[in-house]
Each structure stands twice: as structure tokens, then as C-alpha cells.
Amino acid sequence: MPLSGRWTLTRYLIEERRRYPQASGDLNALILDVALACKAIARIVAMGSLGEAMPAGGSTNVQGEVQKPLDVLSNEIFVRMNEWNGHLAGMASEEMEKPAQIPASYARGKYLLVFDPLDGSSNIDVNVSVGSIFSILRAPDEIVDSGRDVTADDFLQPGATQVAAGYAIYGPTTMLVLSVGNGVAAFTLNPNLGEFVLSHPDIKVPADTTEFAINSSNSRFWEPPVKRYVDECLAGRSGPRGKDFNMRWIASLVAEAHRILMRGGVFMYPRDTKDSGKNGRLRLLYEANPIGFVMEQAGGRASTGRQPVLGVKPAELHQRIGFVFGSRHEVERIERYHHEPATRDAGTPLFAERSLFRDWESTR
């Protein structure tokens, strides 16, 4: 389709709104402000070390992780570009211990914005794609009616209640991937126009795949069902799956999700025994729910490994959880393995003699 025939993000949202004649347009305006924040972050990320001076980094966030300077700056951009528009009752971020209140000088609205301002920032120094993840929820009626300040409890809603969710990926091109509950569309930032332009309408995740992504350095901490699944994939054509698999690992959730959305695959960051005090590595509200919403809307599946992730009721603002998503049939298999009785030796090594490496004697 020629550029002149492509829809901008604004037109796409207007056309989506036509399906709901009673809609006020507040959601559209909020998404456009989120997109503006993503554009601003994209410009800063693109400049890399050539950019202007940034705030000092090295502090520790609520997660106990060292904040990069771009983490701090990206969080500030998200807050400042969305606090004034009158569409929000409050915001919550991976980088902030408590929810951000809307200043008294601004009107308050009926939505809540949850975001990870710069996912994958630990890879920024090596020029790997990073991104921003966001989720939009309805504020409880009590807040809308009373105008009171938000609390952490107001954000503790299952992922299935999300009104919209998506992510921006800052790579060779900047793209915004969005679902407003009617499938998934991706928009590429046209630098000449300064606009997100529809480039991938109605994205679908293939139900089957031969690619999986997992951090194999944690294999000694995996639960038996995860070990079983990975071992079977590594066994390849001669194993129980009867086909060869490729393994990928980028260590940037947005980049992993984008690859799977575009061509299929399965991503696993499961619960393990590495830290008994945590039920997983990724954050339910800021990462698993929005990415899970997008995957489900594209025909994929998102799970904790045991149950649909969008059905989990959050217990706290910064809750961590095991996360498995991607091609539906593979995620369903992993869930099934978690519910089946153990049928094999859970101690089977990841790199068994006849899986990744051939037996030396057979080659002589």
C-alpha cells in the first residue's frame, strides 16, 4: 500500500471509536499521549551516547535494581506527558515505589496508566532493541465519583480487565504495537511525518512454531515440566517432538515479544528455585499483563505456565510472576506438562549427550 493510502495512528483510533458511538474519545486521546511519550523516548534512545546530558544514574529502584539514566528520564517523560491531559486518575510505573498522583492543578479522568518506561535498558550499552510497555485500566467508579487520590489497591486488577495495552520498540525502526481489544495492529514511525503509520494490520501469532526462547543459564533451577519441555525441543527430529527447534534469547522482553508476534515462537521466563522468595522474574502489572493482552488478542496464548496470566488477580503493585507466552499450541503443551504427573527423571541435564551434542563414538 502506498504511503498516501496508509492510516495514521490517529485515523486508526478514530475508526475503532466508530464501533462505540457512545465513547467520549478520552481513550483515543490518552493513547495518542502515550504514543507521544514513546516518540520522545525513541529520539533519546536513537542518539545513544551522542545525546545531551542526562540525569545521574546508579540509584536503585523499588525492585532493588540499578537504574540506568535512561530509566529515570523515560519514566519522567511518561509521567509529564500524561499527567495533564485530564484522562487519568493516576499512574503506576516499574520505576516508582508508589502510584503517581495527578497534580491538583489538572483535571482527573476515568483511566489508570501502568507502564514500564524502558524495558531492556540493561542492553542499551550494546545497542540491542529496547522498548516501552504500557497498560490502560479503568479506574474504580469510587475514584471517578469522589476524585480521591489513587492507592496501590486501585491498580490490582486482573489483566483481562485491561482496556488497551501495547508496547513501543526502539530498534532499526521505531514501532508501536497496540491492542484496544479488537485484535492487534502495529504502526511504524515515519520520521519524515513524525507520525506512527499503520504498517501491520491484524497481526496473528502462528499456532505452531519451531523456535523457543529461554535463559538456559538458569536450567539448574528449572522445575521438572520446564526441563522436560526444553529437553524434548533440544532432542530435535530424533526426539519425541519429531522436529528440530531453534533457541533464541535476547534478554529484552519487548524484543522477544516482537519477534514472536511477527513470526511465532514461545518465550519462557518461568518460576524457578533460584530465589525462593520470588514467584518469577517479570512483573505482572507492567510486563506480563500488557504483553499477555497483546498476545491473546493476536491469537497466541499467555500463561504463568500453569494458568492464563490474564486471570491472575494481582496481590501487590510490584508483584513478580512466571511468564510463558507465544504460539498457542506450545504454551498449551507447557501448561499440560505442569499439570501432568512427572513421567521422567527430573534431573535430566539440559545438554544431554545425545541432544545438543552427538555422541563422539558414533562419529568415528
Sketch out the chain's domains with CATH numbers: 3-200 (3.30.540.10), 211-363 (3.40.190.80)
For 242-251, give one letter per residue: b (16+ CB within 10 A) or e. Answer: eeebeeeebe
Q: Is the pLDDT of residue 354 over 60?
A: no
- Give per-residue pLDDT as tens, 222-233: 999 999 999 999
- From the DSSP assignment, how many helices (H) and strands (E) are in the chain? 8, 15
- Give per-residue pLDDT as tens, 109-129: 999 999 999 998 887 778 889
Question: What is the pLDDT, as a whole number, of residue 5?
Answer: 64
Quick one: pLDDT band at residue 23, thresholds 50, 70, 90? confident
Q: Is the pLDDT of residue 340 over 50?
A: yes
- Give per-residue pLDDT as tens, 87-111: 999 999 999 999 999 999 999 999 9
pTM of this structure: 0.90
- Give per-residue pLDDT as tens, 139-178: 999 998 898 999 999 999 999 999 999 999 999 999 999 9
Quick one: pLDDT band at residue 52, thresholds 50, 70, 90? low
Q: DSSP for 248-300? A: E--S-HHHHHHHHHHH--EEEE--BSS-TT-S-SEEIIIIIHHHHHHHHHTT-
Query: 26-47 vs 69-82: helix axis angle to the nearest 10?
Result: 150
